[in-house]
Amino acid sequence: AVSTSKKSSELLAKYEIPEVSLNEVMGLAVYVDGADEVNHALQMIKGGGGAHLNEKIVASASDKFVCIADESKYVSRLGKFPLPVEVVENARSLVSRKLLAMGGQPELRVGYTTFYGNQIVDVHGLNIDQARKMEDEINKITGVL
């Protein structure tokens, strides 16, 4: 298995599941992860655990993505759970101002850095009626990972 976080690596070790790095494989048949929120169109908010970049990398190397979520993750409208955005530290204020202009209330996840030393900005109050469009807009902000 290829892990996307320290916590996942610890669980793999606990259950004696061999771990390899993504650099050791040509690709992956399947990537399995959970979601923080899922709507009726199967659009979701992910990243509450703070492993954004690794999750994106492993997902892009996989043939199939399987998301595991139960009814407790269902929402009629995305945005109840704050939208986590991984940012390069020296772009945090710039990114936060742009997220504020989009209608969100960005809040630094204090005391937390990602595996790669980046920061997480949790965005509250965004209108996420057009999830794909919003995802594209946020991904285009320089400093967002």
Exactly one of 19, 55, 71, 107 is catalytic; which is it?
Answer: 55
DSSP per-residue codes, the chain: ---SSHHHHHHHHHTT-----GGGSS-EEEEEEE-SEE-TTS-EE--TTS-HHHHHHHHHTEEEEEEE--GGGB-SSTTSS-EEEEE-GGGHHHHHHHHHHTT-EEEE-TT---TTS-EEEEEES---SSHHHHHHHHHTSTTB-
| 19 flagged as catalytic | no
| Active site (catalytic) residues | 55
